[in-house]
Amino acid sequence: MLRIILPIIVLASLLGSLGLSSCRKTVNFSEGNLSFSKDTLVFDTVFTTIGSTTEQFKFYNNDKKTVNVEEIQLMGGENSPFRVNVDGLSGTDFTNMEIEGNDSLFVFVEVTLDANNANNPLVIEDSIRFRTNGVDQYVVLAVWGQDMYFHDNEYVEGTWPNDKPHVIYRSAVIDEDKTLTIQAGTQIYLHKNSRLTNYKGTLNIEGVLGNEVTFQGDRLESLYDNVSGQYYGILLYYAKESKINYCNIKNGGIGIDVISADPGIPNGNKVLQITNSTITNCAFYGMRLISGGLTRAENCIISKNGIHALAVFASDFNFNHCHLLGYSNAGSQTPAVGISNTGYDYIGEFPYITNINEGEITNSVVYGNLDTEFVIDTDDNNGGLTFNFNFIGNLIKSETVPTDSFFGVLGDNKWNEEPYFVNPTDNDFLYYSISPLHGGGNSAYLNTAGEPAFGIGINGAPRAATPDIGAYEIP
C-alpha cells in the first residue's frame, strides 16, 4: 500500500509546484536610479557619549516601474558611530529592497560619539551607499563632535576649566561651605530638568565683557534656539554670599531661583550680587526671590520670560540700572515685575507675610507689551509690618500712575514713555539717542554696586554724570 501512495503524493506535489510557478508574474524592474531628498545629512554639534536627535531623509523611485535596490550599506559598518534604520529595519546592510513606481522610503539616522579628549569640535563623517542596477549612489553623514566635562548628579567645587563645555545632567551641587568658581568663557549646557544647585555654599561666576559665561539647554539643533524650559536653572538654597558677573542665561525654566539665604550672612550683606548679565526666554521667571536675603542686581537685562522678569516673594532686593522687561514669546499676561511680601517654603507651601527691609528699583526700565508691567501686592498685617521701598529714576509702564511715597514726587520717575528700543522682537534692547532712557537716570544712583559694575554700562561704556536709565550707556 505504501508503494502505491508515495508516487501519487510526489506527483501531486510536483504538479502543485509547477502550477504555482506558471501563475507567478515576472517583475520587470526599472533600470533607473534613485533620487534623494538630501545628498548630505549634517547633524548639529553633538556632545560625546550623549546620543543625538534623529535625523531623516527619503530616497525616491521616480520611475513608473518598481525598482530593486540591490544593497543599502552603512560604509562604516558596525564600527560606525551612526545608527541607521531603513523603512523600520535597523542594521548596517540591507539587500533587495523593492520600491514601487513613484514611491519612496524613509531612512532614519542617529549618532553617538565616543569621547575624543579634544578641546575643539571635530568633524566625523560616514556615508550610506545605495546600489541600484549596478550603480552606486551615496548620502554623506557628517557630525561635529564636541568633547565636554560631564556632571551627573554630583557635588562640585573648585574652579571649572573653560577649555571644553560643561554638561549638567540632573544636578551639580555646591555643598555646604564649598565654593565653585566658573571662569570667563565657560559654556554650560543643562539637560532637561537639570540645574546647578548652590546648597549652603558659594558660587562665583567670573565672566568678562566679550568672554561671558553662558547657560543654556543641551539641545544644540537650531530649532531649539528659542525654546524655553529646556532645563531648570540656577538654584540658590540657603546659599552663602555669591557673585555673578557677565553671565548669559537663556531658555531655562527659572533663570536664577533664590530660595532662602544662609542665616549666617550679616544683615545688609547680599546672598547674591549679579552684574552685567542677561536672562532671557525662561518658561517661568527670569529671577525669582523667595524668602531669601538681599539680592543685588546692576547692569542686568531680564526679558521675554513666561511669567515675570523679576518675581519677589518676601525677599529684600536692590536692582539698579537694569532692564526688567516683558515681551514674552509665550504671550504672557503677567507684568514684568511682581512684588509681594508673602513668602513660601521651597515647594510653594506654608505662606506667611513679613517685612521687606530693603526694596529698591532705581535707574531701571520696566516695560513690555502690557498696559501695566509693574505690580506690588503687599499685606502689612494691619500696620504691623514695614516696607522700605524706593523706586526712583525709572521709566515704568503702568496704566495707573501710583502716588505712594516710595515712588518719590512727581518727576522722579518717567511713566509710559516710549523707550525706542532698537528691536525688541530680536532681543535688541539697545535704544536710539532720542529715547527718554538716554540721560534720563538719577545721578544719586549712579552704579552703586561698586566693582565690577562701577562707572560703566553692561556694554562697557563709561556712565555719564547724568546716566542713562537701564543697563546700557550710550554716547
In whole numbers, what is the pLDDT of the chain averaged over residues? 89
pLDDT band at 451 (very low <50, low <70, confident <90, very high): low
What mean pLDDT comes out for the span 369-384?
92
Residue-range domains of the chain with CATH: 35-145 (2.60.40.10), 164-417 (2.160.20.10)
pLDDT digits (tens, 9 = 90+) for 12-21: 333 343 343 3
pLDDT over threshold 70, residue 2: no
pLDDT band at 235 (very low <50, low <70, confident <90, very high): very high
pLDDT band at 269 (very low <50, low <70, confident <90, very high): confident
What mean pLDDT comes out for the span 439-462?
82
pLDDT band at 65 (very low <50, low <70, confident <90, very high): very high
Give φ, ψ of 222 to 5 degrees: -60, -30
Select the more confidently predicted residue: 472 or 292. Answer: 472
pLDDT over threshold 60, residue 69: yes
- Give the pLDDT of residue 111: 95
- Give the pLDDT of residue 4: 32
pLDDT over threshold 60, residue 25: no
What mean pLDDT comes out for the span 102-125?
88
- Give the pLDDT of residue 344: 80
pLDDT band at 409 (very low <50, low <70, confident <90, very high): low
- Give the pLDDT of residue 404: 81
pLDDT digits (tens, 9 = 90+) for 320-356: 999 999 999 887 789 999 999 998 876 666 788 999 9
pLDDT over threshold 70, residue 110: yes
What mean pLDDT comes out for the span 202-206?
98
pLDDT digits (tens, 9 = 90+) for 280-311: 999 999 999 997 789 999 999 999 999 999 99
pLDDT band at 24 (very low <50, low <70, confident <90, very high): very low
pLDDT over threshold 60, residue 11: no
- Give the pLDDT of residue 449: 56
Least confident of 70-74, 116-120, 248-252: 116-120
- Give the pLDDT of residue 10: 35
- Give the pLDDT of residue 7: 37
pLDDT over threshold 90, residue 382: no
What mean pLDDT comes out for the span 364-383?
94
